[in-house]
Structure 1
């Protein structure tokens, strides 16, 4: 049994959140540098997007192990390992002279973040009282959602003054603060290791996800078939000795709510790629302008995280989620139409509206999704959700890069506009589906909330 009396839950959540914040900060900061990286390393948009995609793929590979890690290792041990991996990655990238070294460092950062992210949500779900769970979830998601608020600005300013490597230099003190706070907040606990690690299932899951991402990025049937074979082998091996409990998918409400979580993740990553790239390449603005453009909307979404969590604690999940999904759907549809005008102020207003919807909906969707599972499936549901979130983000970035590159190839003058618009149109369609799926869960969610609060 794990002890809880020595925990400083808020500090522990913030410490793990700083790790996740740092990872997302680099991710969105580097998106602003893509045009410069393409020139420095002589690669196109499809090549440079692996700076983000490789990081997200590393998270997607390691996160499925989170349920196993949590059952067999203490939170303190996991936190220390995640910090070491992340710190090694940022040091490597601080001095990266080639794209290969840069990608290797990003992969290490992804492994570190992939351990810290589900650990943060596990602490929230198991150490915080039910009546404060919405607020704690809001604080947890705020630490990660505030990073896109300052990431593009942070990256754009450093890119224009000290160069892109400085993006990593300035995160060293933040990593040390996270490490010290985590050691203070998380006590050493005795956890009995009762399971053998299913190495085969882990290897084939990693191969399957990597191959599927390559299939999406390269539009390759060969990679898709390879991915399908690897995932079938994973499914068979996972049944022999469970690495990831896939029974969570038997809950239909969990499945429908999870779709909304994944679409928001795809939206955040897609827009952080499309908009800065279009503003620089299509509108001819500087990296600093592209970074500042993302700031108002992302700050708005980050601030609304804990506020919307408080609303959930008071009135339940339905109203804030339906408001958020509706606002984001309207904004994405309008943004798809507005691309033809190429007016930066119109884009800015619609991005803010999109992020208002995100701030109201995303952390409440996550809370509602995981609340569909009983305690025995909580760690596995957390692991599944975080795995699919990172893969959705990686896949969305790969698709956005492909559409952007295809648009540039189709029209020398307006190619960036065409590619960006096509990516946003796809997102708008996915949001309409997410809104319709959520509507089908409203009655059940209201009934569940009444049971929990009476």
Structure 2
């Protein structure tokens, strides 16, 4: 599709991808200040990040259903409204519990943006340019977290931790206004069945996994029980998907040797990245004694390197195709 509306449409959805990535690291530089204001420890504070990622994971799991069931325009404005509500709630939250609830609402909203952006690109971009446009989308998701630490670091230092929520609030409002004019068309909604047990198994499995990993060193028995529960829930989820005519998430690509190694590497990479994105600011501020603004600057370089590699690999994919990029024996 090469019509004149494609550029503005992709610009809005790239902005959505950037916002979703920005929100992932939104509170990282504010964790120390939040811990002081609400008198909580680092284990409790990190749930503002972990809880966000759990909610995003559940939303992404359900996204195939949502994309078939609702129009692109409906999904976009629903996600924008939830993002606005979550950001406003975070700014006004009087206690830690309501702050966590606001983060979860924000996660549901912005969690729709990433898969929606990717689906719009796949549906509307010519196949020969798909690698480049997908890589730009991936870079937006990565540049967002790179920008968040430096922006929010200075804001926390100068304006206090609540101010960080004003950035996604303003961005979501701006994207909503732009979306009124450019987010149109798309595929027709389908009447498809939502598999609630699969969604519940995903939520239970991911939550138990995070609880297990966070508790296993402090309370080994609790952590071990949670990890066993996570394995059982996620195993049951996988088994259920294999036997459903219309699974919530198709696991069929994992049967192919060209897909599962890449998926495994992405999982390890994301685990490393997100754990460091939480722990590094805590170290820089509490152990090294740096200001939040300086800690934010130190977080930028590795993520920008990742974004650059993403764009270059996308251009390579368009030029040479996927096969030359794979090690011998996997193709």
Note whether the superposition's TM-score is higher than 0.5. Answer: yes
Q: Is 1:26 equivalent to 2:31 in the alignment? A: no
Alignment match, 1:218: 215
Aligned match for 2:146, one of 140, 146, 149: 149
CA offset at residue 254 of structure 1? Answer: 0.4
> CA 1:28/1:240 → structure 2, altered by over 3 Å: closer, same or farther?
closer
* 2:284 match: secondary structure: helix
Output the CA distance in 1 between the equivalents of 2:316 and 2:186: 34
Residue range with higher mean Cα deviation, 106-115 or 10-19: 10-19
Alignment match, 1:253: 258
TM-score (norm 1): 0.66
Per-residue deviation, residues 148-188 of structure 1 (Å, max 9, x unmatched): 22211111110011111111113322112212333333324
Per-residue deviation, residues 216-265 of structure 1 (Å, max 9, x unmatched): 22121222233344335434554245222222211122000111222222
* 1:203 match: secondary structure: helix
Residue range with higher mean Cα deviation, 243-252 or 5-14: 5-14
Q: Is 1:278 equivalent to 2:297 in the alignment? A: no
Per-residue deviation, residues 382-432 of structure 1 (Å, max 9, x unmatched): xxxxxxxxxxxxxxxxxxxxxxxxxxxxxxxxxxxxxxxxxxxxxxxxxxx
> CA 1:224/1:294 → structure 2, altered by over 3 Å: closer, same or farther?
closer
Output the CA distance in 2 between the equivalents of 1:261 and 1:10: 29
Alignment match, 1:172: 169
**Given that residues 201 and 237 in structure 2 are in contact (C-alpha distance below 8 angstroms), is that contact kept between their aligned partners in structure 1?**
yes
Alignment match, 2:219: none
Q: Comparing both chains, which one has the higher relative contact order based on Cα–Cα distances under 8 Å and sequence gaps of 6 or more?
A: 2
Residues 179-190 of structure 1: pairs in structure 2 closer than 5 A: 179-189=176-186
Aligned match for 1:208, one of 192, 205, 208: 205
**Given that residues 82 and 116 in structure 1 are in contact (C-alpha distance below 8 angstroms), is that contact kept between their aligned partners in structure 2?**
yes
Residue range with higher mean Cα deviation, 6-15 or 278-287: 6-15
**Given that residues 215 and 222 in structure 1 are in contact (C-alpha distance below 8 angstroms), is that contact kept between their aligned partners in structure 2?**
yes
CA offset at residue 45 of structure 1? Answer: 1.7
> CA 1:183/1:224 → structure 2, altered by over 3 Å: closer, same or farther?
same
Per-residue deviation, residues 242-289 of structure 1 (Å, max 9, x unmatched): 222222211122000111222222232122223222222222111111
Alignment match, 2:125: 128
> CA 1:97/1:188 → structure 2, altered by over 3 Å: closer, same or farther?
same
Q: Compute the RMSD of aligned alpha carbons.
A: 2.4
* 1:193 match: secondary structure: coil
**Given that residues 149 and 302 in structure 1 are in contact (C-alpha distance below 8 angstroms), is that contact kept between their aligned partners in structure 2?**
no
Alignment match, 1:442: 327
Alignment match, 2:69: 72
Output the CA distance in 2 between the equivalents of 1:172 and 1:83: 10
* 2:192 match: secondary structure: coil
**Given that residues 16 and 79 in structure 1 are in contact (C-alpha distance below 8 angstroms), is that contact kept between their aligned partners in structure 2?**
no
> CA 1:165/1:211 → structure 2, altered by over 3 Å: closer, same or farther?
same
Alignment match, 2:220: none
CA offset at residue 55 of structure 1? Answer: 0.4
Alignment match, 1:234: 237
Per-residue deviation, residues 65-93 of structure 1 (Å, max 9, x unmatched): 11111222221111111111111100100
Q: How many pairs align?
A: 323
Output the CA distance in 2 between the equivalents of 1:254 and 1:163: 44
Output the CA distance in 1 between the equivalents of 2:195 and 2:255: 23
Output the CA distance in 1 between the equivalents of 2:244 and 2:4: 36
> CA 1:296/1:207 → structure 2, altered by over 3 Å: closer, same or farther?
closer
> CA 1:156/1:190 → structure 2, altered by over 3 Å: closer, same or farther?
closer
Alignment match, 1:100: 97
Output the CA distance in 2 between the equivalents of 1:194 and 1:59: 24
> CA 1:317/1:281 → structure 2, altered by over 3 Å: closer, same or farther?
farther
* 1:43 match: secondary structure: coil
